[in-house]
Structure 1
Amino acid sequence: MKKFLRLAVLMALVSCGGGERSAPRNLDNACAILGERPHYLRSLEATERRWGIPRHVLMATIHQESKFIGNAKTPHKFALGIIPMGRQSSAYGYSQAIDGTWDDYRKATRNFGAKRNRFDDAADFMGWYMNEAVTKLGLSPYDATSLYLAYHEGLAGFGRGTHLQKSWLMRVAANVGERSQTYQNQLIACGKF
């Protein structure tokens, strides 16, 4: 009995430690996502209070980056189509933050224990980064399309207009903007806005 109890406690602790390995069931409905994962709402509200980035903008960006999968990674690269060459980048977790930018966030916020596969840390990271875009680039915190472009290209890249040469990225960013508006309307309808 003691072994079973210890195993149950260990399993509970392990399950709380990292990000979910599967996406919520209905990614097209913000209310369903928050209904299935209520702790997301608490994290999004805290990020919105701290950094001023609305929850629907954060949710649309997380959807694009990881589909709400906590341990998401970029695909592998292959030489000659068959020889594995590692991953496309160091992007990881809900926010798909790369190593260097994640380290910048941890230093700037003094949140040295932050993990990319924990939703609250990933949401806070996105809020911090998007707040930098609002402050340094003059973007609106409600402009999910432009914030996504700055998030993807980096603040300096966005400032140089690197996104303007990437029609595929402009389409993706427009989709993020549309999803953000959809999520906002849904959150208003279910009283979570």
Structure 2
Amino acid sequence: MKIKKLLMPVFFVATLLLAGCSTPPPQNSSNICDIFKEHRSWYRAAANTRDTWGVPIHVPMSMMFQESSFRHNARPPMRYFLGFIPYGRASSAYGYSQAKNETWADYQRETNRRFASRSNFADAMDFMGWYMDKTHRLNGVSKWDAYNQYLNYHEGWGGYRRGSYRDKAWLIAVARRVDDRAQMYATQLASCERELQRGWFRRLIGF
């Protein structure tokens, strides 16, 4: 009993620490340099995704901003019957990438990453690289084409082939915004990537 009482504060502190582990959204999401300087590990994760899947960093980053505003626990809003009775969410989309349950399960199976989490930035970024790579292979869309990559991401590979987005003026407008942001991110990243590639020690000594 005495040991149990001694361990209770330890468990309490551990719980608080774990609760504070989730990374907050970047303060300035309009500048990719500021994003990566605030969250250095995000740049490493994005660079790993580029190296693994051959996707340019600025495209999945723009898509992720559109999907979740870089919130680790983002999900669609709750739906209400008669305006006040909750009856579930519009979809199972969750996390940084807003991946749905079934698509995330496909990703885990195909990449053998059973323990990947949608609320982990590196995992979510890798998922987006995997998805973009399949979009390129299945529908022939360039990995640099943020506009059509986003339409595939939103409508699915089959939906894109059927042209399901053509009657959705609002979605086309969103895809254009994703493309505009991707181009802005690309320009910004070109000005700071060399500095981002330096390790912490070289940054410390100014070399």
TM-score, normalized by the shorter chain, greater than 0.5:
yes
Partner of 1:145: 147
Contiguous gaps of at least 5 residues in structure 2: 1-5, 198-207
Pairs within 5 Å for 1:73-88: 73-88=75-90
1:86 counterpart SS class: strand
1:103: which partner in 2? 105
Match of 2:74 in 1: 72
The question of 1:168 aligning with 2:170 is answered: yes
Name the Cα RMSD after superposition. Answer: 1.9
Question: What residue number does 1:59 align with?
Answer: 61
1:15 Cα offset (Å): 3.8
Q: 2:36 & 2:8 partners in 1: Cα distance? A: 35
CA deviation string 1:10-56 (max 9, x = no partner): 5445544xx43x42111111111111111110110010111111110
Letter in structure 1 aligned against 2:118: R
Partner of residue 203, structure 2: none
Query: 1:85 Cα shift?
Result: 1.1
Matched with 2:136 is: 134
TM-score by length of 2: 0.86
Q: 1:118-141: per-residue Cα shift (whole Å, max 9, x none)?
A: 001000000001100011111111
Partner of 1:89: 91
Match for 1:23: what amino acid?
P
Secondary structure of 1:115's counterpart equals coil
**Matched-pair identity in %:** 42
CA distance, structure 2, for counterparts of residue 3 and residue 80 of structure 1? 45
CA distance in 2, matches of 1:158, 1:54: 21
**How many residues are treated as equivalent by the alignment?**
190
Say if 2:136 is the partner of 1:125. no
User: What amino acid sits opposite 1:28 in the alignment?
Assistant: S
- State the alpha-carbon separation in 2 of the partners of residues 143 and 157 from structure 1: 18
Alpha-carbon deviation of 1:189? 1.3
Scaled by the length of structure 1, the TM-score of the pair is 0.92
Moved more, 172-181 or 76-85: 76-85
